[in-house]
């Protein structure tokens, strides 16, 4: 009898694991079809046959039938009798309600729509030892990334500030309060903060012109354009004279080629008594292998996106870019903050599977 650690056993275990990964990848592709073609939304209107789904969504009837059966085989939809299929209510929330705390479709389609199309470019970048610009990843990636973080900003962020940063909550509740949201993307975090703090003005700043255009449209639609101002700018170059009670950098510092310079600029943008709030991936304190599922996900995203993006442009001292990657551990955050002139870095008592919050305080 072969020992469990024999090469044959190892090969067999890896083969089964990769088969399951291949199955998962293929099923994510079918979910992407459901997303792009509006099939999940059409299912939200009640049980359907393939022909009825085809009529609702404007797709081929044979295609719709096969897709429904595949989704039922995968456990996403369920048979409803008489050849019909339904989308269970919990699955409807997770797949069609972008504001639900359980929204997961953006995470599901990110590898397929946002990262897989970049593989040829990544092969080139790895072979040449160069970076890949954020804008090269395209609209599908930006939309998926925004969709992943939207429930966090909508449902969690205001509560986190209220409970873990009571002094900041008090400051933002007063007339004249100012928040500066660095790397705001399409504006979800900025809008969530403006809605939570009606006396505050929020300044969202990002390098991406397309993202800022989308953010401005969303602010106008939400009736917040007078209190939420979006600007295309590089905060590392210290744009503008406005100072904030709170400067935020959410899920972005690890992507930046000049993280220390950005944090230094963020410190300089603070009003007396203000602080910087970071949201970064909840990775382990130190490297371990094999790692848990969250750490594995973070490393995969780093290899495919965050590391290449962080290797573009100049570094903090005009030299090589930082290339931090997604797996930015707490010691790295502390080191960057200390170099940027902060007196204290505090990990906030916030529990989330994917995110960790840091408070950075300048010298008194």
If pLDDT is split at 50, 70 and 90, which confidence band does 364 have? confident
Say if residue 3's pLDDT is above 70: no
Cα distances (angstroms) measured from residue 274 to each of 141, 260, 263, 350, 356? 33, 18, 14, 20, 20
Say if residue 2's pLDDT is above 80: no
Backbone angles phi, psi at 176, to 5 degrees: 90, 0
Asked whether the beta carbons of 231 and 240 are under 8 A apart, the reply is yes
Asked whether the beta carbons of 185 and 213 are under 8 A apart, the reply is no
Cα(174)–Cα(287) distance, integer angstroms: 43
Tokens for 32?
């992407």
If pLDDT is split at 50, 70 and 90, which confidence band does 239 have? low
If pLDDT is split at 50, 70 and 90, which confidence band does 319 have? confident
Say if residue 95's pLDDT is above 90: yes
- What is the set of domains in the chain, with CATH numbers? 7-96 (1.10.10.10), 115-361 (3.40.50.150)
Tokens for 177?
């309060």
What is the reported pLDDT for 150? 92
Positive or negative, the CA dihedral 176, 262, 130, 319 is: positive
Tokens for 38?
């509006």
Listed in sequence order, the DSSP H helices in 165-224 are: 166-172, 188-196, 209-221
pTM (predicted TM-score): 0.91
| 175-214 residue pLDDT tens | 999 999 999 999 999 999 999 999 999 999 999 898 899 9
Share of the chain above pLDDT 70, in %: 98
What is the reported pLDDT for 240? 59
Share of the chain above pLDDT 90, in %: 86
What is the reported pLDDT for 238? 62
Cα(41)–Cα(38) distance, integer angstroms: 5
Say if residue 1's pLDDT is above 90: no
| 5-14 residue pLDDT tens | 799 999 999 9
Mean pLDDT along residues 223-230: 95
| 106-154 residue pLDDT tens | 999 999 999 999 999 999 999 999 999 998 998 899 889 888 999 999 9
Say if residue 23's pLDDT is above 70: yes
What is the reported pLDDT for 300? 97
Mean pLDDT along residues 45-52: 95
What is the reported pLDDT for 241? 63
């Amino acid at each position: 009898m072969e020992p469990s650690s024999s090469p044959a056993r190892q090969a067999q275990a890896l083969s089964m694991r990769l088969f399951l990964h291949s199955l998962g990848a293929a099923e994510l592709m079918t979910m992407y079809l459901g997303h792009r073609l509006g099939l999940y939304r059409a299912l939200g209107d009640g049980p359907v046959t393939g022909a009825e789904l085809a009529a609702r969504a404007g797709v081929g009837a044979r295609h719709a039938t096969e897709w429904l059966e595949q989704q039922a085989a995968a456990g996403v939809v369920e048979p409803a009798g008489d050849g019909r299929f339904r989308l269970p209510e919990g699955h409807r929330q997770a797949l069609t309600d972008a504001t639900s705390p359980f929204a997961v479709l953006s995470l599901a389609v990110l590898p397929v729509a946002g990262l897989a199309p970049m593989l040829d470019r990544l092969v080139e970048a790895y072979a040449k030892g160069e970076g890949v610009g954020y804008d090269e990843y395209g609209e599908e990636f930006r939309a998926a990334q925004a969709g992943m973080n939207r429930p966090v900003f909508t449902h969690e962020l205001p509560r986190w500030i209220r409970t873990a940063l009571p002094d900041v909550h008090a400051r933002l509740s007063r007339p004249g309060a100012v928040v500066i949201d660095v790397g705001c993307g399409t504006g979800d975090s900025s809008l969530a903060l403006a809605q939570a703090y009606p006396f505050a003005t929020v300044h969202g700043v990002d390098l991406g012109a397309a993202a800022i255009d989308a953010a401005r449209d969303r602010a106008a639609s939400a009736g917040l354009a007078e209190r939420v101002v979006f600007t295309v700018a590089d905060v590392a170059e210290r744009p503008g004279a406005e100072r904030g009670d709170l400067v935020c950098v959410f899920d972005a510092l690890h992507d930046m080629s000049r993280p220390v310079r950005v944090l230094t600029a963020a410190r300089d943008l603070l009003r007396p008594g203000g602080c910087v709030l970071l949201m970064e991936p909840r990775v382990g304190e130190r490297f371990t292998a094999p790692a848990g599922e969250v750490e594995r996900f973070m490393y995969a995203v780093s290899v495919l996106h965050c590391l290449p993006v962080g290797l573009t442009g100049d570094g903090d001292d005009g030299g090589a870019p930082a290339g931090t990657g997604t797996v930015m551990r707490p010691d790295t955050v502390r080191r960057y903050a200390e170099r940027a002139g902060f007196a204290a870095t505090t990990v906030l008592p916030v529990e989330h599977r994917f995110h960790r919050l840091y408070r950075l305080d300048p010298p008194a």
